[in-house]
Every structure is written in C-alpha cells, then in structure tokens.
Structure 1
Amino acid sequence: MGVVTRTVGEALIDILEANGVDVVFGIPGVHTVELYRGLAASNIRHITPRHEQGAGFMADGYARMTGKPGVALLITGPGVTNAITAMAQAYQDSVPMLVISGVNARASLGHGEGWLHELPDQRATMASVSRMTHTLHEPRDLPAVMERAFTVMQGRRPGPVHIEIPTDVMDRSIDLEASEATKLSGPRASASDIAALAEKCRRAQAPVILCGGGAVASAQQIAAFAQRLDAPVVTTVNARGLLAGDPLSVPASPSLAAVRALLAASDTVIALGTQMGPTDYDMYSDGGFPVLKDLVRVDIDPDQLTRGPSASLRILSSVKSLLDDLLPELDEHDADRDGAARARTCREAVLSGLTPKMRTEIGVLETIRDALPGCVIVGDSTQAIYSGNLYFEAGRPKGWFNAATGFGALGYGPPSAIGASLGEPDTPVVCLVGDGGFQFSLAEIGSAKDCGANVLFLVWNNDGYGEIGTYMIECGIEPEGVTPSAPDFLKIAEAYDVPAVRLSDVDELAPALRRFADGKGPGLIEIHETNTRGATA
C-alpha cells in the first residue's frame, strides 16, 4: 500500500491485522475511543465482555486454541487493574496475550494531580504481570514497539505484553509503510545437543517422556518420538490429549504416587516444554517428587531451564524444532521397552488410588468427551476439574485446560471458554464451572449470547465452595465463609434467552449435551452434586 498517513489508533489496527489478529476483546471508554477509529473498517471482530477481567480471560482462551496472541483493548486505570488477574494467569501458564491500554496525557504522567483513571505509575503496576511493558511516548515509534511486542510474546517463553498509549498520542498522525507480520524463528538445539540426546535415547532401557503446555502444539512429533522410544508419555494439565487413546499415554498428575513410581523406575526422563512447577509436580506440597535419573530438559526459556530439578542435559529449543531434528537420528532405532505395559500399569494404579468420588467425577468428564467427539473442556476451579487434573484423557490436543493450576483464578472458565469458542467456532466448547466460581463472571453469559459462542456452561453446583469447606474440616477448622448462596442459574440463563436444563440424573447428561450442541449459540446445564443422581459416589 506504500506510505500512508494514519492516526496512531488507525495504524495500530493496521499492524494488528498484518500480524493475523482477527478478534480483539475490550470495553471502549473515553480513554480508548481513538484506538477504535480504524476498527470498524478493518476485518477484526470486536467482542465486548461484561468486565475487563473477562476480556483478559477471553484473550487467554482464544490464544490457547489458536496459538496466536489474544488481544485486549483496555481503558486507563480500572480497565488495566481489572485485567491484572487474567494477565497473571496467562503469565503463569505462558499464554501469549497483547494488552493495549490507554494512559493519561504525557504531560500529566507522574504528577499525581488526580486526572480521571489516574494511577501513580500505571506501567509499573503492569510490570509484574507482563513479559514487557512500554509507554508509547512518540507516535513514530509505534511500528518498532509493536514488532518488539510480537517478538516478546511469541519468542522464548510466551506471556502477556502491555503497551500503553497516552491519550494525547492516540490521535496523532504518522506515516506508515505497508505493515508486515513479525517473523520469528525460536531457539534451536545445537547439533551436539541433538547427538547427545540421540545417544541417551539409544542407551535408555526404561525411558519416560514428560510433556507440559510447551509441547501441546507438537502432538504429531511427540507421538512419533514416543513410539520410537517405546516410552510412556506423562502429560501435565496443560498437555492433556496429546496422545489421546494411545497405549503409551499416561494422562495423570506427576503429584500422584503411581506416576512418581513410574518416573523413579525410569533410567532416562525427557521433559518437553514443562515448567516442572509445584502445581503440577507437588500439588499436595509433600516434597515427595523423586530425584530423576538422567533427566533431560527441553525448554524455550533459558531461565526456566535453571529452575526446578537439575538435569544431565539442558536444551534450549522449541519442542517442535527439537523433535524435527532428533527424529531422523532415531530412524533405525527399533525400541522394545515394555512401554505400553508400563503405561497401562501406571494408569491402573492411578485410578485404583483415587477415591470413589473422584472416579465418579472423572466418569462425568468422560461422558462429556464421548458425547461430543473433538470437544474442548475449559474448566474453572471446581471439584470435577480437580479430579480431572489428577487423571483424565482429553479427546484431543488442546482439549482440556483450566485455571486450577498456576495462578488458580476463580471465574476464569466462562470467559476463557468464550474465547476458545471464538478461536474454533465449529468446535463444541464445554465450560465446567462451580456455582461459586461462576458467580465471579456470571454476566459473561450475556457476552456468549451476543457473539453466538458455541459454549455449553456446565454448572457443577455443590452449594458453595465445597472443596475449601472439606479442606477446612480436614484441618480441624470450623468451616466458615464457604456457603455463599447461588442464584437459580436456569432463571439467569432464561433472562439472557439462553436455553438451560437442570439434570435429575447424570444419565441425562449425554443426550442433553448432544441436544444443545445441535443448536447455535450458548446453552446451560446444571448438575447438583447431591440432587442429581449419579453425580457423586
């Protein structure tokens, strides 16, 4: 298009489009209207949540499904502070998110004169939940700043990036050359590292592969790698579904004794794209995770390779490029290491060690998966999700994620499920949320209705914060503050013109799911832990 004159707001939209952004989430305000100037004429769809935290969570769910950064447009002050929780969740789970906000005029910054939406130092406030934060003081710097933002979000360890644009900069004109997508090539292992890992693979007699969220985009390569090594593959929460139904799959938490026994008995453990943090590896804080023999860690973030368990070999690389380079070295390697038998033994031991209640809840999750093949289950912090995080085989890669790990934010599920649905509009998305957590973001039912999101809100109602109440009793503490009243969720759904049903028996779940999935737009199903037969053991 050559060189054109644009306002900063218009140029911003051009740059977003050039980088493949097709959806943004935000609530316009007087401090961001200039950023909307070019939006209506673009091909970018705008989604209006009911709260800026919802905008952040929607961007998170969209990014997890598409692999592209989720984008939120936020007003100065309360807009950005409302979104901090969502940014912190994305930061912990390495989800690329681009937060673009307003900030007060340049001359006012730092003076504390009491301007509308003023923070003492907005950029500093955002720094702790951002991989990068930048104030655009000069309009001409916009293209370079945006290129840096996309590089930071998608290079090395992904995460949120924040750019704030002063109100007196947004409407300034700049000469903009044709925008192009920021092209990245992540770190790649050296030939010597590939050779060293290939030799370890050949020597191993009882290998195990660990996969985290950083491996989720490499399902095909991981399947081939596991087969060549004949190695069980243990998937953390954010990697579930990588080997759906494969005999080598162990879709279970490394915090469980049976999984730890499998790892302790291995002579080589290869950890691909996993943080190896306590919410996956020591969720009960018992310190019982074993010392691993001949641990190999592969990660895109050099800092992460220095945290957690020490390794005999640390490789800075994306999982995909590592396996693309490694697999040809293993072409002639014909392994027979009882991998399927070791995986099966571990799976059976995990299930036998869970309580009847947990196994019943996992059965509900399996009903969802089987009733809606290829569906995505997005969870909030609720009891069935906790059980699934211990053991559940999602039906596909990216088919299971939730906020019960990492930052652990309540209210994550509903808006994130909307974002996921917008990322894959033809895929059924089931949001499994508790009655307590749902009330953190209940109004987002309206957002789902407005945008026609194909989301089924499955409310797991246990009359409050059941998990916390149980934990208090186990600690010898009189339960207090764990029984907040809930609305009639069916009436809330009716108020938004969303179809809804309350189940009397879990056997009704599969047909209800299929019935709602045949329609367009959102629906709601309620299961009551004690009033719905079969919901608990």
Structure 2
Amino acid sequence: MIDFDPGTAAAPAGDSRRTSQRNGGDLVVETLEALGAKTVFGIPGQHALGLFDAMGRGNLHFVSSRVENNSAFAADGYSRATGEVGVLFLSTGPGALTSLAGLQEAYATGVPMVVVASQIPLEGLGARRKGMLHQLDDQKASAANVTKSQRLIQHASGIPSAIQDAWTEAISSPQGPVWLEIPQNVLLDPIMVPPVEDALAEAADNPPRVELVREAVKWLSTAERPAIIAGGGTRRGRAEKSLLSIAEKLRAPVICTPGGNGAFPWTHELSLQSWIEDRHMTDILEDADVLIVIGSSLGEVTSNYFTFAPRGRIIQIDAEPRVLESNSPGLGIRADAGQALAALDEALAAPVDTTRSWRGTTPEDLVKDSLAKVKARLESQDLGKELKFMSDIREAVPADMQTFWDMTISAYWGWSCWDARQGQFHSAQGAGGLGYGFPAAIGGAVGLETLGKPGRVLAVSGDGSSMYSISELATAKQHNIPVTWLIVDDGGYGILREYMVGAFGKATATELARPDFVKLAEAFGVPATRVAPEDVGDALKAGFAADGPNVVVVETLLKMFGPTHLDD
C-alpha cells in the first residue's frame, strides 16, 4: 500500500485546519477536485506557495518528486496507467523549464495532462524588473513546443473556467498536456469568488466523416491483401474491440507499433505481434494492397527507419491532422481512433471471407510463416542470452502487471518482443528522452492505488538512463510506492555504443562511471540486490512479493538484434 503521510496528504473537508480566508489557490484545488482529480505531482516553489497552501485545505494527494522533469514523467505514468488526467504543479522559471523534456514525451505520445505553473506577480509580467527571481521573458513560449495550448490567468475569477477548459482540451483527441500559468499574487490574494461546487469537462466529439468511411469500406471490400498497423492512437482511443472485429472480418494480419503494443491479442492467428523493425514484416506491409494505419504517423520506427515503401493504397486514421499523409500519401481520416474504428466496423458488417488468400497462402499461414522467419533470423544471430533474458523477465512478470520502460536496449527488445498480456506496456518512444521508466512507474503505481486497484508495477532502465531519475528513490521510499526497478548495468549508453560501433567501428563518449546501485539504493532505505543475468527472473519474483519499492541490478552487456537487409 502507498503511504500518504501527514506531510504530504491534504486535510479532509471540514477539518479544523481549514481557514475562512480563501485565495486563488483554493479555486485551483476546488476546481480540480470537482473535475475528479485525486492526485497531483510536482515540487513547491516560491511563486506557487499560495497553490500549495490551498492544497492543505483540500483533498488532493500530493506526490513530491525531486526533479520537475520526473514530476512530469510521473503525471504521465499516472495517466497512462489509469486513463485519467495527470495533474502537475510547477514553480516559475527553472522549475517550469526543467519539466519540459517530460512534457515533450506526454505531448508526443498524446497523454492528457493539466499543468499548472506559477508566474511572477502580475505587475512584473513583461516589465523585466531588475532582480526578479525566476523571471522569463515569455514562460508560455517555452512550453509551446511541448503542450497543446498555453493560457495565462490574470484574475482569480477566471481560474475555474480556465481549468475546466484546459481539462476539456486535454481529454479531447488528439489528447495531450495543456499549460496554465497563474501569477503569484493571483494565487495569494484574498478572493470574493464562492467555493467551486461543480465543474464539467467532456471530450469534444471527433467522429470520422461519413463519406470517408464509405470510401474506406469500398477499398476494403475489394481488397485481396488487406493488412493493419495499430499505433498508439488505437490504445488511446480504446479501439481494441473494434480492431479485433475488423481484423477478423477482413482476415487481415495486424502488427502493433511500440506505442500500440497490446492493442491486438499477441497470440491471435492474425497477429504479427510487434516486430515492426523486422524486414520480413516490412515486406508483408509493402505487399498489402490496402493498408489500414491507425494512430500512427508511419514515422521512423514504424516505417523500419524509412525503408518502408508501400505499393498498395493506405487508409490512415489519426486524430492529429498534421500526422495524416505526413510520410505516405493515402486516404486520411481525421478522427478519434475509437470512433473511427467503431464506424468502420459497423459499416463492414459483411461475413468473413473464408476464401481469402495472400498470393496463394491463407492470411493465417502467412502470419505463422512470417513469425517463424523472425524466430529463425534471431536464432542465427547469436542472441541466446538476450532472448532468454527477455523471456525470463516476461515469465516473472504477472500477466496483469503494468510495465514502464526507459530508452534502453531492454526496452528496444521490448518494443518488438513483449507480450503485454492483460497488463500494459509503456515506454518513452514518443519523444525518446532518457529517465522515463522509474518516475513514470511511480506515477502508475500511485494511480492504481488512487483508483482502488493497488498493485505493483515494474520499471526497466539502463545504468545511463537510471541516473536521470535516481533521486526519485527518495520519492518511492517516502510514499512507500510498490515499484520494482530493474536496472540493467552495461557500463554506459549501450544503444549509442552499438550505433557508433556499427557506423564508425568504435564508440566515443559512451562509457560511464557509475555508482554501486545496490549501495546507493540502500542509502535511500530501498532494498536492493545484484544478480547474474540468468537469475533475473527469480530476483524479480522476490521483488514483486515484497512491500514498498525495491531495486534489482543486473550487470550484463546485451546486444540488439540486427534487421534483415533489403537484398536478403
């Protein structure tokens, strides 16, 4: 169980600590509570003191990270694990700027968040007063690249409506983080605005255009070799049920991108799983005469590093209009994936075509043969240690456990080989920044507890990426958060080492001095153990059975699989 101690928990309604004097900060807390928020991540700051003071009169649980970037990752993980909006409180200037890399991941991946940042006093905005602490020329502009929109609230009476609007925008597809700024005096000054009693935020409707669905059905009704790419938008739009129905009606092979991992049953006879970086799979997708792409831009990874050259027609469904046809021409359908696939499924109410074949073979046999080719390729590359390592982790992790992966070689393997089963696979492939895994797992575990579904989660990092978030061991210990953190220590930035050796014959600046991770974790009061690669499964099982946070360190050098080449 997560321990929300008195130092971080809010006073219940009606508690004697409540005061009669309310301020702008109270309006923030009251509105968030009315919208259904239960947990907030962040770090206090000078200009945000009114906000944190008000939280002491409300009912929001506050989880204090040690670095703002990790607070953003934690709010992101909370949202992904629960499907709810993540809420982040930031201080002005350095605090706000430090969060941006975490917000870039949320923005790139479509994670709904409401970010409340403090600002210098209203009268100092734009004045460039000499010596004003934390002042930026335009703080909102700094957030413009990593959030859907930015708002400055200049009067306390505007706080409830602005937060309500931000929440609505965050959950409307394409989902993402929304930025609000409130000056210090607006948060602190006494107010005449009555307590917020209710707030309503409903996602804007984003259905597909009827004529586009009709055209897509026309293409699919005559297709001989349909195939489907399920991207992250499939999961965000909760479109899994419709995807399964459409795939079975069309008898279309389905492959999931790293973001879409888990959107389609791993062991289904039409599942190409997530081997999106394998040339055997690229060949199938290129040979499709109609390819449905859901919630993916066909970007770098999904296109097998832009080697993908489709010969058939593409139906691309995405809520973000800038994504449509950005990498390949096709029939672009701007819509929420869930609504679009539901409409397409309803329109495809024809019986399954039991005679369909793919150049003389059944789609099911094509899938089986292709997966066998992938297996044979991997077995030919001396990757026995890597295959067993990933298999041992998968065997140890309960089927319904959520996992959070940093940008590390283990995660790159996970993108392709991880069967999410009844759990969820979360990684930082949206923006690709380091340090995501552990703080996001903290947020995920907190979110599950908040929803009344307490459960342990797994974080996976490398030694390089773990140093970005090592301070959050203090957060995990303070709140007794049930996270098991697997650190795969290969002595440097392993994937960059591979890239450089492959490109230049040697690696430069990839090797790292690092701490004794076991002793460091223990210094935070977090139990830790170091094991050999072959013992990782047993160590994880022991960690999963424990209380609170714990760390498992494995010192090993893992290799990445090599893709087949265009002329293979």
TM-score w.r.t. the length of structure 1 is: 0.92
Q: Does 1:518 align with 2:545?
A: yes
CA-to-partner distance for each residue in 1:32-52, whole Å, 9 max, x for gaps? 121123323433211011111
Out of 248, 254, 258, which is 1:227 matched to?
Answer: 248
Structure 1 letter corresponding to 2:240? A
Alignment of 1:481-500 (within 5 A): 481-500=509-528
1-structure distance, mates of 2:136, 2:85: 26
* Alpha-carbon spacing, 1:218–1:423, altered in 2? closer, same or farther (3 Å): farther
Structure 2 letter corresponding to 1:514? K
1-structure distance, mates of 2:333, 2:383: 37
The residue aligned with 2:359 is none
1-structure distance, mates of 2:518, 2:67: 22
Q: Does 1:109 align with 2:125?
A: yes
Secondary structure of the residue aligned to 2:229 is strand
Conservation of the 8 A alpha-carbon contact between 1:253 and 1:281: no
Contiguous gaps of at least 5 residues in structure 1:
none
Out of 182, 185, 196, which is 1:165 matched to?
Answer: 182
The residue aligned with 2:434 is 410
Contiguous gaps of at least 5 residues in structure 2:
1-12, 14-19, 357-361, 562-568
Residue 176 of structure 1: CA displacement? Answer: 4.8
2-structure distance, mates of 1:8, 1:356: 62
* Alpha-carbon spacing, 1:445–1:177, altered in 2? closer, same or farther (3 Å): closer
Alignment of 1:373-388 (within 5 A): 373-388=399-414
The residue aligned with 1:262 is 284
Secondary structure of the residue aligned to 2:194 is strand
Out of 312, 316, 325, which is 2:343 matched to?
Answer: 325
Residue 420 of structure 1: CA displacement? Answer: 1.5
Conservation of the 8 A alpha-carbon contact between 2:248 and 2:352: no
The residue aligned with 2:531 is 503
Conservation of the 8 A alpha-carbon contact between 1:429 and 1:456: yes
* Alpha-carbon spacing, 1:244–1:38, altered in 2? closer, same or farther (3 Å): farther
Conservation of the 8 A alpha-carbon contact between 2:170 and 2:177: yes
Q: Does 1:280 align with 2:302?
A: yes
1-structure distance, mates of 2:482, 2:25: 31
Out of 347, 364, 383, which is 2:371 matched to?
Answer: 347
* Alpha-carbon spacing, 1:333–1:43, altered in 2? closer, same or farther (3 Å): farther
Residue 518 of structure 1: CA displacement? Answer: 1.7
Structure 2 letter corresponding to 1:209? I
* Alpha-carbon spacing, 1:406–1:325, altered in 2? closer, same or farther (3 Å): closer
Structure 1 letter corresponding to 2:267? G
Alignment of 1:423-442 (within 5 A): 423-425=447-449, 426-442=454-470
Conservation of the 8 A alpha-carbon contact between 1:374 and 1:396: yes
The residue aligned with 1:301 is 320
CA-to-partner distance for each residue in 1:334-389, whole Å, 9 max, x for gaps? 13343322222222223333474656434433322332221222111211112222
The residue aligned with 1:22 is 38
* Alpha-carbon spacing, 1:363–1:20, altered in 2? closer, same or farther (3 Å): farther
Deviates further, 71-80 or 346-355: 346-355
Out of 314, 319, 335, which is 2:332 matched to?
Answer: 314
Question: Size of the alignment, in residue pairs?
Answer: 526
The residue aligned with 2:565 is none
Conservation of the 8 A alpha-carbon contact between 1:252 and 1:259: no
1-structure distance, mates of 2:218, 2:178: 39
* Alpha-carbon spacing, 1:127–1:357, altered in 2? closer, same or farther (3 Å): farther
The residue aligned with 2:78 is 62
2-structure distance, mates of 1:65, 1:299: 22
Alignment of 1:141-220 (within 5 A): 141-172=158-189, 173=191, 174-216=193-235, 217-220=238-241
2-structure distance, mates of 1:186, 1:395: 30
The residue aligned with 2:9 is none
Out of 79, 94, 103, which is 1:78 matched to?
Answer: 94
Structure 2 letter corresponding to 1:108? G
1-structure distance, mates of 2:29, 2:162: 14
1-structure distance, mates of 2:22, 2:369: 63
* Alpha-carbon spacing, 1:385–1:180, altered in 2? closer, same or farther (3 Å): same
Residue 238 of structure 1: CA displacement? Answer: 1.0
1-structure distance, mates of 2:124, 2:103: 26
Structure 2 letter corresponding to 1:254? I
* Alpha-carbon spacing, 1:45–1:26, altered in 2? closer, same or farther (3 Å): same
* Alpha-carbon spacing, 1:423–1:344, altered in 2? closer, same or farther (3 Å): farther
Conservation of the 8 A alpha-carbon contact between 2:448 and 2:455: yes
Residue 6 of structure 1: CA displacement? Answer: 4.7
Report sequence identity in percent.
27
Out of 50, 53, 61, which is 1:45 matched to?
Answer: 61
2-structure distance, mates of 1:439, 1:213: 28
CA-to-partner distance for each residue in 1:95-114, whole Å, 9 max, x for gaps? 22221111101111122222
RMSD of aligned Cα (Å) = 2.4
* Alpha-carbon spacing, 1:445–1:309, altered in 2? closer, same or farther (3 Å): same
Structure 1 letter corresponding to 2:469? S
Conservation of the 8 A alpha-carbon contact between 1:350 and 1:391: no
